[in-house]
Amino acid sequence: MREINETLSRAAACEKTVLPSGLTVLVRPMPGYGSVHAEYATRFGSIDRDFVLDGKPVHLPAGVAHFLEHKMFESEDGDAFSKYAKTGANANAFTSFDQTCYVFTATRQVDESLDILLSMVGQPYFTEATIQKEQGIIGQEIRMYDDNPDWRMLFALCGCLYENHPIRSDIAGTVESIAEITPEMLYACTDAFYDPANMVLAVAGGVTTRQVLDACARAGLDKPRTPHKVQRIQKPEGPLPAKTRDQFRMSVSKPCIGVGYKEAPLGENRVRGEILCDLLGELVCGGMTPLYRRLYDEGLVNPGFGAEYLSVEGCCCILFTGESDEPEKVRTLLLEEIERIRREGVDEELFTLCKNQMYGEMLEALESPTGAAGALVSNYLRSSTLEEGVQLLAALTKQEVDAALQTMLLPEHSATVTILPQEAE
């Protein structure tokens, strides 16, 4: 275990600088690598719908964070993608429930690509005309996701589990909700959440810390900023699901089943709680478990059946999803297996195998500039480090998992969603 921890610590080592503007800069030089990957992220995602900015309440329709991500690529002097094309960088961005991240990968002209990244995120530009144009583009994206059964299953489960938490709303919003977006809303969001003190810049690969800090200086991030006062507003959420069942039809080749469990929000122990949730999913239906082998051997599920967890401010849930021609049988076997493990305890050999698998996944994520920068951002936004995660995983015992199962994955906290194929006309 000491060797594993030392290996992970070396792989996760980075150079950290907090600039006068409040921006945290994390750089992991990787000598010998020909590429550089940069991620510029803010703690602002789809669940940040209600907040107070400098004493004024702000209430957003669903989809604003994602809409803003698209708009940040535009400026008065042109589109950022066109600028990246000149440097040869491959650029993108994504919005999740609790963060927005702008990324690029480059093998040359890294300094110029850093300038583009820091400039586009630091100089927002919105007009009624450009917003109207983007509403049509994102409307098409929303309709595309409406045809994705995995996406529909995710939000159907969240809609069952949660009554008030904004995690129940699609990250991209709806065609109707994004029609409400105004320039004033977007500027309020950039004032509130695109402050350098609320952001992190992580760069990994064939780069030096000096290069990255020089780029920050060119963008004016080496100077103090006066941050806006922001307070997030959370609506109360009870411990039980809003409803326990949902079923609908769409164009799928076979039925889909989803069983979700509403858990207590993780709070200050978020990193340990996330490791526990991840491990529980693997122990119940991971590829090495008796349940998975039975389901697969009997042809009840395809290889995509598995577990995931969601953890954001005020919300934590564990979801089991997949395709099955016999969704109710899969649901019954899943619930029975959880009760068996709760009664008998976790198999010790399986527990060790799953822990080792998680160690391997941590190491694998650090072997490329993309994975390294992504891990630095992910851990920073959770107010943690990869080293802390390794230590918490190493300290977790079978007895602690057995104890957690007495209060987690309870049937009364569960909800089930079934997607059926459309009926033949």
The helix (H) or strand (E) run that includes residue 350 is helix 348-364
Q: Where does residue 286 fall: left (phi above 0), alpha (psi -120 to 50 degrees), or beta otherwise?
A: beta
Q: Strands 256-263, 15-18: parallel, antiparallel or unpaired by DSSP?
A: unpaired
Would you say the C-alpha torsion 410, 150, 100, 127 has a positive or negative sign? negative
Asked whether 420 and 149 are in contact (CB, 8 A), the reply is no
Let me know if 400 is a catalytic residue: no
Give strand pairing partners of 25.
17, 201
b/e 294-306 (16+ beta carbons within 10 angstroms → b)? ebeeeebbeeebb
Catalytic residue among 6, 15, 39, 69: 69
Asked whether 244 and 161 are in contact (CB, 8 A), the reply is no
The torsion defined by the Cα of 298, 303, 306 and 310, in degrees rounded to 10, comes to -160
The amino acid occupying position 84 is: Y
Residues designated catalytic:
69
